[in-house]
């Protein structure tokens, strides 16, 4: 669980909510136990085993002295040779707690109390069982008991009494509303009182559970929100080769979907994983009060359940990791096909893409089925263990209740069964906690792999790069993509003077885009140096480097915001007038004014409301507004219509004055006007010069020109 534990850095600052939720969970457990415990006095009233007065006072006597009495019933002493007139003797000792004050006094189990404070009850049958217990319960610091043993010998003992328990006064006050006589009125009043207490405790328990679950969910949502923020902050600072290796859709899946699994884990830890054990402990205490031996027998199944849960959790973690990877593949396929839906339809590849999606989806299905198999099995396994242990315990209890020992009353038996049943249900609910936590742990592992990734950062004591005035140079630059054995760039030496316009041409895969990506430090050379004005960019701050580079790519990137915001993306504080002037220079102002809301028109996701040429002109306006010293155009004219090409080319020529420009060429017009043309092949510069020179000296350039440009 090492990965999941890291989320606690976001949870701990919310400790007040966590503490309050734990208090509420404890209150839920106590009130739930009281609700089930209310069965005991209710059944005793209905079965006429004992009145409420006697039951309450016996509990108080046990707290004050440690002595537990048998209930009134057929006396066991008939078999011991006692006379029939002793059948009315109401109190027999069941147990004496050694830790209490009575433990040091010689009192035996099944001894009979015949007198309290010198008042003999043999000759006073009107003195009821309830009054006798009340006399003992309300005694002062000590009380004298005359005891008859099974051998019909007598002795008098003085039993010290502890102070009355906290609930005694309240209990006695409530008992004043209940008559002592066993009659229909007695039963009615007793049941009304018990049911009223049950109703109030249930309402309070439900409120406490609502508050507990609400607080836990708030903590979980807040923690995951902060984790997403920090993970996203890390992700956008990762170098580009990370995304080329891991994939953008996989990173999206980690930030969105995997964090949801972590949220589920948090709610489990501070919800069910706290609430259910507290309920089990509370009911176990109540069950031990009724009968310790039977409760112990039932709890013997807990270690076996723990071992099974551990094994299920390990299987769940493995299955979850594979499912998350499969889910990422599904998301990646969706992302690619839906963004490129025009191409899919244009080439009539719907069936092919459906088949490919089905393949990814089937793999995800298989992993999820494994997870559901583990989830489905954990509950029944634990339930079976719990029922087995409970049945064994109840067999013993049935023997104790009906056998010669008569150690358990019928009402005690059924109340104990109810408590053990709730304990078993809580244990069953805990069955999916560990597998769910392992699911969250597997998700956290993927999220923190992104969170802990090496990010772009300024070098130690990085220098601020001044605006370029001299040159951009590459010295013996080589680069190899991760998991690739072949060099993408191989020993590149290139020097471009400030203000020079350089076009880069070459076959697909020759390294053109990778070469220009070295200038803004999107990729770091495996070997060699990139220098600006003679200064190695590895020692300068990223902001000072990238602030003076304007980039327009073939794949235009816009954001689902207004046109004005997209143009001002590199300069958020730009005025409306500056934005408009940049758009005019990019020949974008005319079509912008014709949109619904002008510069305040929402572009839409992936620029859905604009044409490719319009989007490209917005991207060019964005670069113009930044006023960079270095311009990089990667196939920037590829989506410009013929009508706009001449105007945009003129704008670029004007804007390039005094700026160092790099152009990956696509059309003839962008090549013939360049100061220099660089020809690349297989990661190397194989030729460079002006257009006419290269036509005469470079066979590769002439071939490219004839194939790609002349037509």
Token reading at 195: 């049911």
Per-residue pLDDT averaged across 449-458, rounded?
Answer: 85
What was the pLDDT predicted at 518?
Answer: 92
Quick one: pLDDT at residue 404? 45
Query: What's the pLDDT score for residue 76?
Result: 38
Query: Bridge-partner residues for 160, per DSSP?
Result: 142
| Same domain membership, residue 384 and residue 272 | yes
| Percent of all residues in the chain with a pLDDT value above 90, rounded to a whole number | 12
Reduce the DSSP state of residue 37 to 3 states and report it. Answer: helix
Asked whether 545 and 497 are in contact (CB, 8 A), the reply is: no
Model confidence at 639: pLDDT above 60: no
Q: Is residue 262 part of a domain?
A: yes
Six token digits for residue 96: 């004496």
Last residue of a domain, one of 122, 153, 181: 181
Same domain, residue pair 433 and 476: no
Q: What are phi and psi of 165, to 5 degrees?
A: -65, 165
695 Ramachandran zone, left/alpha/beta (phi>0; psi -120 to 50): alpha
494 and 437 belong to one structural domain: no
Q: Return all residues near 210 (Cβ < 8 A) that are at least 6 apart.
A: none
Distance between CA atoms of residues 133 and 52, nearest Å: 11
Residue 118, class by beta-carbon neighbours within 10 Å (0-12 exposed, 13-18 middle, 19+ buried)?
A: exposed
Which of 544, 521, 508, 509 minimizes the C-alpha distance to 474? 521
Instruction: Give 532's strand partners.
Output: 472, 535
Question: What's the pLDDT at 35?
Answer: 77
In a shared domain, residues 486 and 442: no
In this structure, are 392 and 268 located in the same domain?
yes
CA distance 538 to 227: 30
DSSP β-bridge partners for residue 155 = 147
Is the confidence at residue 351, as pLDDT, over 60?
yes
Mean pLDDT of 81-104: 61
Tell which wins on pLDDT, 653 or 619.
619
Identify which has the larger pLDDT, 2 or 377: 2
Environment class of 548 (CB within 10 Å of its CB; exposed 0-12, middle 13-18, buried 19+): buried
Alpha carbon distance 241, 526 (integer Å): 12
- Separation between Cα atoms, residue 18 and residue 21, nearest integer Å: 5
Gap between the terminal Cα atoms of the chain = 62
Angle between helices 292-299 and 273-290 (to 10 degrees): 140
Same domain, 85 and 232: no
Q: In what order do the strands lie in the sheet with 527-532?
A: 489-497, 471-479, 527-532, 535-536
Domain boundary, last residue among 397, 417, 451: 451
Say yes or no to pLDDT of 615 above 70: yes
- Checking phi first, is residue 105 left (phi over 0); if not, alpha (psi -120 to 50) or beta? beta
Please tell me whether residues 240 and 293 are part of one structural domain: yes
Indicate whether 1 pLDDT > 80: no
Let me know whether 125 and 239 are in one domain. no
State how far the Cα of 512 lies from the Cα of 177, in Å rounded to an integer: 94
By the 8 A CB rule, do 223 and 7 touch?
Answer: yes
Bridge partners, residue 75, by sequence: none
SS3 category, 291: coil
Determine the average pLDDT of the residues in 275-288: 83
DSSP sequence for 512-567 = HHHHHHTTTTSS--SEEEEEETTEEGGGB-HHHHHTTEEEE-SS----SSBHHHHH
The rounded distance, in Å, linking the Cα atoms of 139 and 145 is: 11
For residue 700, tell me if it sits in a domain: yes
Residue 551 is assigned to a structural domain of this protein? no
Task: Note whether 426 and 279 are within 8 A (CB).
Answer: yes
pLDDT score, position 79:
35
Output the pLDDT for position 252. Answer: 81
- Here the CATH number for the domain that contains residue 329 is 1.20.1560.10
Is the distance from CB of 359 to CB of 332 less than 8 angstroms?
Answer: no
Distance (Å, rounded) from C-alpha 670 to C-alpha 673?
6
Q: Is the pTM of this model over 0.85?
A: no
Distance CA 278, CA 26 (A): 6
Inform me whether the pLDDT recorded for 7 exceeds 80.
Answer: yes
Instruction: State the pLDDT at residue 23.
Output: 93
Structural domain includes residue 613: no
**pLDDT band for position 668 (50/70/90)?**
low
Q: Identify the H or E element spanning 189.
A: helix 184-235
pLDDT in tens, 549-605: 888 877 777 777 888 988 888 888 889 999 998 888 888 888 888 888 888 888 866
Give dist(CA 113, CA 132) in Å, integer.
10
CB atoms within 10 A of CB 139: 20
**pLDDT at residue 280 tops 70:** yes
Residue 158, class by beta-carbon neighbours within 10 Å (0-12 exposed, 13-18 middle, 19+ buried)?
exposed
What confidence score (pLDDT) does residue 536 get? 92
Find tokens 């044409």 and name the residue. Answer: 611
Same domain, 166 and 109: yes
CATH number, domain at 509? 3.40.50.300
Q: How far apart are CA 306 and CA 643, in angstroms?
A: 75
- Measured distance CA(549)–CA(537) in Å, rounded: 13
Based on the fold, state whether residues 301 and 426 are members of the same structural domain. Answer: yes
Helices (H), 38-178: 39-46, 52-65, 129-137, 168-175
Q: Is residue 635 part of a domain?
A: no
**383, 424 Cβ separation under 8 angstroms:** yes
Looking up tokens 């008992």, which residue turns up?
175
**pLDDT tens digit sequence for 532-551:** 999 999 899 988 998 888 88
pLDDT higher than 90, residue 472: yes
Q: What is the pLDDT of residues 478-504, one digit of tens each?
A: 998 877 888 899 999 999 998 898 999
Q: Is the pLDDT of residue 137 over 80?
A: yes
pLDDT in tens, 397-425: 566 555 444 455 666 777 777 777 777 77
Domain around 476 = 470-538+664-711
Give the residue with greater pLDDT, 216 vs 302.
216
531 lies in some domain? yes
Q: What is the mean pLDDT of the segment spanning 13-41?
A: 85
Share of the chain above pLDDT 70, in %: 74
Read off the pLDDT of each residue in 600-614 and give the average, rounded to a whole number: 75
The token pair that represents 597 in the structure block: 């809301």
- Do 401 and 528 fall within a single domain? no
Average pLDDT, the chain: 78
The answer to whether position 310 is within a domain reads yes
* Whole-number Å distance between alpha carbons of 306 and 330: 35
Q: How many structural domains compose the chain?
A: 3
- For 431, half-sphere exposure in the C-beta direction (CA atoms, 13 angstrom radius) is 23
Q: Are 509 and 428 in contact (CB under 8 A)?
A: no
Assign 181 a pLDDT band (cuts: 50, 70, 90). low
Three-state DSSP class for residue 158:
strand
Domain presence at residue 543: no
Element (H, E) at 256: none
Residue carrying the six token digits 């010198």: 118
Tell me, what CATH number does 168's domain have? 2.30.42.10
Q: Is the separation of the CB atoms in 663 and 501 below 8 Å?
A: yes
- Within this chain, do residues 443 and 498 fall inside the same structural domain, yes or no? no
Asked if 137 and 59 touch (Cβ cutoff 8 Å), the reply is no
If one compares 10 and 284, the residue with the highest pLDDT of the two is: 10
Sign of the CA dihedral with 239 first, then 244, 246, and 248 last:
positive
Final residue in a domain of this structure, among 394, 422, 451: 451
CB 701 within 8 A of CB 677: yes
Model confidence over 227-239: pLDDT tens digits?
Answer: 988 888 888 888 8
Q: Residues 105-133: what's their mean pLDDT?
A: 69
Angstrom distance (rounded) from CA 555 to CA 650: 22
Lowest mean pLDDT among 181-190, 272-281, 440-449, 451-460: 181-190
């Amino acid at each position: 669980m090492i990965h999941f534990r890291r989320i606690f850095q976001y949870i701990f600052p919310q400790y007040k909510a966590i503490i309050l939720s734990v208090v509420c969970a404890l209150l839920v457990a106590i009130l739930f136990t009281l609700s089930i415990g209310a069965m005991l006095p209710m059944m005793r009233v209905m079965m006429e085993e004992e009145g409420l007065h006697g039951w309450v006072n016996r509990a108080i006597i046990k707290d004050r002295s440690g002595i537990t009495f048998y209930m009134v019933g057929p006396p066991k002493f008939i078999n011991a040779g006692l006379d029939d007139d002793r059948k009315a003797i109401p109190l027999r000792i069941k147990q004496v707690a050694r830790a209490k004050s009575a433990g040091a006094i010689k009192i035996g189990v099944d001894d009979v109390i015949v007198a309290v404070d010198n008042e003999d009850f043999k000759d006073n049958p009107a003195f009821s069982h309830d009054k006798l217990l009340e006399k003992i319960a309300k005694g002062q610091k000590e009380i004298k008991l005359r005891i008859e043993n099974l051998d019909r010998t007598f002795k008098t003992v003085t039993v010290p009494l502890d102070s009355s328990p906290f609930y005694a006064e309240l209990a006695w006050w409530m008992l004043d509303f209940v008559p002592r006589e066993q009659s229909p009125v007695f039963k009615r009043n007793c049941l009304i009182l018990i049911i009223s207490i049950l109703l109030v405790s249930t309402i309070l328990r439900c409120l406490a559970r609502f508050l507990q679950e609400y607080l836990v969910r708030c903590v979980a949502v807040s923690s995951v929100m902060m984790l997403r923020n920090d993970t996203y902050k890390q992700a956008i600072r990762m170098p580009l080769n990370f995304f080329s290796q891991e994939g953008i859709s996989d990173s999206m899946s980690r930030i969105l979907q995997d964090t949801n699994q972590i949220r589920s884990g948090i709610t489990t830890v501070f919800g069910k994983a706290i609430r259910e054990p507290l309920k089990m402990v509370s009911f176990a205490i109540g069950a031990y009060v009724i009968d310790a031996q039977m409760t112990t027998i039932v709890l013997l199944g807990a270690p076996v359940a723990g071992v099974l849960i551990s094994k299920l959790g390990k299987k769940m973690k493995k299955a979850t990791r594979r499912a998350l990877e499969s889910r990422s593949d599904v998301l990646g396929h969706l992302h690619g096909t839906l963004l490129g839906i025009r191409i899919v339809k244009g080439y009539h590849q719907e069936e092919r893409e459906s088949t490919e999606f089905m393949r990814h989806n089937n793999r995800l299905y298989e992993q999820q089925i494994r997870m559901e198999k583990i989830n489905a099995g954990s509950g029944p396994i634990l339930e079976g263990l719990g029922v087995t242990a409970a049945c064994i315990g109840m067999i013993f209890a049935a023997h104790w209740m009906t056998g010669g020992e008569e150690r358990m009353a019928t009402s005690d038996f059924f109340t104990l069964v109810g408590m053990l049943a709730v304990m078993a249900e809580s244990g069953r609910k805990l069955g999916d906690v560990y597998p769910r936590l392992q699911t969250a742990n597997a998700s956290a592992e993927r999220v923190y792999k992104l969170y802990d990734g090496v990010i772009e950062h300024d070098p130690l004591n990085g220098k601020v790069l001044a605006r370029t005035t001299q040159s951009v140079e590459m010295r013996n630059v080589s680069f190899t993509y991760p998991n690739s054995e072949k060099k993408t760039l191989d020993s590149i030496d290139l020097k471009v003077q400030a203000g020079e316009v350089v076009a880069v041409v070459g076959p697909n895969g020759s390294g053109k885009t990778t070469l220009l990506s070295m200038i803004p430090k999107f990729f770091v050379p495996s070997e060699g140096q990139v220098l600006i004005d003679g200064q190695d960019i590895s020692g300068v701050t990223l902001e000072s480097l990238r602030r003076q580079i304007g980039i327009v790519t073939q794949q235009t990137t816009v954001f689902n915001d207004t046109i004005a915001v997209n143009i001002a993306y590199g300069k958020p504080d730009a005025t409306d007038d500056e934005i408009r002037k940049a758009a005019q220079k990019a020949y974008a102002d005319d079509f912008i004014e014709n949109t619904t809301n002008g510069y305040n028109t929402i572009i839409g996701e992936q620029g859905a409301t604009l044409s490719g040429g319009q989007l490209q002109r917005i991207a060019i306006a964005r670069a113009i507004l930044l006023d960079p010293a270095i311009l990089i155009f990667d196939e920037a004219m590829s989506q410009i219509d013929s009508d706009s090409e001449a105007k945009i080319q003129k704008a670029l020529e004007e804007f390039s004055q005094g700026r160092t420009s790099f152009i990956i060429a696509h059309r003839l017009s962008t090549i013939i006007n360049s100061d220099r043309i660089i020809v690349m092949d297989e990661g190397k510069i194989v030729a460079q010069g002006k257009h006419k020179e290269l036509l005469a000296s470079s066979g590769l350039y002439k071939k490219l020109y004839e194939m790609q440009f002349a037509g």
